[in-house]
Chain A
């Protein structure tokens, strides 16, 4: 079974700072790694999907990388804004099952 871990569980940064969120997984035979954002009381919004053959994906101020050999993915957020405050979740799939980390709660302080 794939185990997905996200550290730290919570992170607080001042506005404008660049930051990195970490995601680690135990099974390197991962097909895809997907990053989500979840606002309080809301559903999950897809941010980036990295396929197993890719090493990174970029969308605006977000950049996600995938290193299958080390079992790690990172989500880089540039020039953080208060609107980035949310919980960030990563999920990997092997076969037909997706496994989620417990998330990192990010607070960006104005």
Chain B
């Protein structure tokens, strides 16, 4: 099993550009999520999904869109990149079970917005 995969590993954008960060998992997990990690602020939840066709906002959703058309894939779209979106982005997946939902993380995407 590949687990959780993310592409690209690195990306540089100019202000105003758009892009999509890809995330895929092969563990048949219902729950998938996106986080951003910034120095001194820990990981913050951007969006999450509890199954195909179902998404919801996390703590810091502004400027980001998501969709979940399949169980395996959960792309994150930046609509109009801003320097404040410079960060490391992590995708994670887990089972949906309330009492056992160990999260597994991808390797991350380092995004710089100039």
Contacts and interface: CB of A to CB of B under 8 A. Distances in A.
A and B bind: yes
Interface of A: 1, 4, 31-32, 34, 36, 42-46, 49, 51-53, 89, 91, 93, 96-103
Contact of B99 (A31, A45, A97, A100): A31
B53 interface: no
Given A96-B48, A96-B50, A51 B33 contact: no
Interface string B68-108: 00000000000000000000001010000011111111111
Contacts of B48: 96-97
A4 B45 CA distance: 13
11 contacts: A31-B101, A32-B101, A32-B102, A42-B107, A43-B90, A43-B107, A45-B105, A46-B102, A46-B104, A49-B102, A93-B101
Interface in B57-73: 58-59
Nearest to A93: B101
A46 B40 CA distance: 21
| Chain B interface bracket (under 10, 10 to 19, 20 to 34, 35 or more) | 20 to 34
Scoring A4, A44, A52, A100 by chain B CB atoms within 10 A of each residue's CB, the highest score goes to A44
Nearest to A45: B105
A34 to B, nearest CB: 6
B42 A103 contact: yes
Given A42-B107, A44-B90, A49-B100, 13 more contacts: A32-B102, A34-B102, A36-B105, A42-B108, A43-B105, A43-B106, A44-B105, A46-B102, A46-B103, A96-B31, A96-B50, A100-B42, A102-B40
Cβ-closest 7 pairs across A and B: A102-B42, A44-B105, A100-B43, A43-B107, A49-B102, A100-B42, A43-B105
B41 interface: yes
Contacts of B99: 31-32, 51-53
